[in-house]
Structure 1
């Protein structure tokens, strides 16, 4: 899991590194709000750990700017303020969860895992549908226009990711990280799996749902949702 920590306390940041990296997290740290905003815009994080009290900007304002920029990365706010009004204000500005200082690192880990699963849709077993393409996560059954489609495991995982994010364009490196973790595949491996996926869900049919956005990534989108 790839996370960004925006926190001005170097001791706390060091503790977060010591706790999270052995658990498989990849951590970037920013010690002020402006650096954190730059990191968040330049990278694709699974979650952001954001301190409410930063030297150059309130954490709530940071969260508002992230949401105004269209970033929906889950945000876990760290704060010493534990009143209901403080929490309501934070949620109104786009915070997804709160953790009151001091906190146990194990609780931080559990809350991050829950936020990321929720964002990815992993908590839901409802069928996914884009146009006439349907995927049932419970049975791993894929159909398009009533025709059953068979897919190998990796293209199936890519399909599920793109359908959950539809109509969003998912960057190549985000797909690679979600499928292969921190071990990045060879440069043409993702392209090969995309070709297998496209051959299965698009080529036998009249309209293509899987689109390549050159220089960025891929999306699955219904024909009537495409905006040129």
Structure 2
């Protein structure tokens, strides 16, 4: 699992990164709010740890922007020294999923982060519906326009990864991490599996759901863009 840390204090960011890496997390670090927000839009993270009081772009604004754009990564917000562990009424609307007051040690953060990840998995919607595509995340049954689509385990995992981030582009690296659980697979492995999955999901349907965004990756969303399933424009935001 990959976690994004958005923290302007270099020493604290390094301590958190070291602790998470020792516990087998993959970690990206942004030392300011704007670059952290940009990173969060590039790839889906298993979780985001963000400081509430970043100097350039506060943690609350980052959370609101992520939620308004439809990003679903759970967010753990680090609050100020002496703050209560329960969020204030004004903070509840930020979109943060949990709050960790300073001071804290590495074990505090790790425990809170693991609980947040577990809760996020438990409360995930069991049924994903996108247009006439239905994905049952409990039984792994997939239907398109009422007809069952037979998928291999790898194809199902790839489809669910795309569907869980509906409308957001996943680059090859993110797909390799989520589906192949590594960053070392050849990029054409992803391309080949996408091609097979596209045939199973989209072939014979006027509306195409799986699209290639040139230079960026793949996206599952409503609305066809042509027979090749290729979008020739870049992302419009961030």
| TM-score range normalised by the length of the shorter chain | 0.7 to 0.9
The answer on 1:139 being equivalent to 2:128 is no
Higher relative helix content: 1
Contact 1:87–1:98 (8 Å) recurs in 2? no
Partner of 2:236: none
Question: Distance between the aligned counterparts of 1:86 and 1:208, measured in 2?
Answer: 42
**Relative to structure 1, is the Cα distance of residues 114 and 217 closer, same or farther in structure 2, using a 3 angstrom cutoff?**
farther
Superposition deviation, residue 39 in structure 1 = 4.4
Matched residue count: 227
Contact 1:125–1:138 (8 Å) recurs in 2? no
Instruction: Name whichever of 205-214 and 83-92 sits farther off.
Output: 83-92
Partner of 2:99: 98
SS of the residue 1:170 aligns to: coil
Partner of 2:47: 47
TM-score by length of 1: 0.78
**Relative to structure 1, is the Cα distance of residues 139 and 107 closer, same or farther in structure 2, using a 3 angstrom cutoff?**
same
Partner of 1:111: 112
Structure 1 residues 193-204: aligned runs within 5 Å: 193-204=193-204
1:17-44 deviation digits (Å, cap 9, x = unpaired): 2310022222233334455445445565
Contact 1:125–1:136 (8 Å) recurs in 2? no
Superposition deviation, residue 81 in structure 1 = 4.4
**Relative to structure 1, is the Cα distance of residues 53 and 145 closer, same or farther in structure 2, using a 3 angstrom cutoff?**
closer
Instruction: Name whichever of 142-151 and 153-162 sits farther off.
Output: 142-151
Question: Distance between the aligned counterparts of 1:209 and 1:81, measured in 2?
Answer: 49
Gap regions ≥5 residues in structure 2: 227-232, 234-238
Instruction: Name whichever of 130-139 and 192-201 sits farther off.
Output: 130-139
- Please report the RMSD computed on the Cα atoms of aligned residues, expressed in angstroms: 3.5
Partner of 1:174: 174
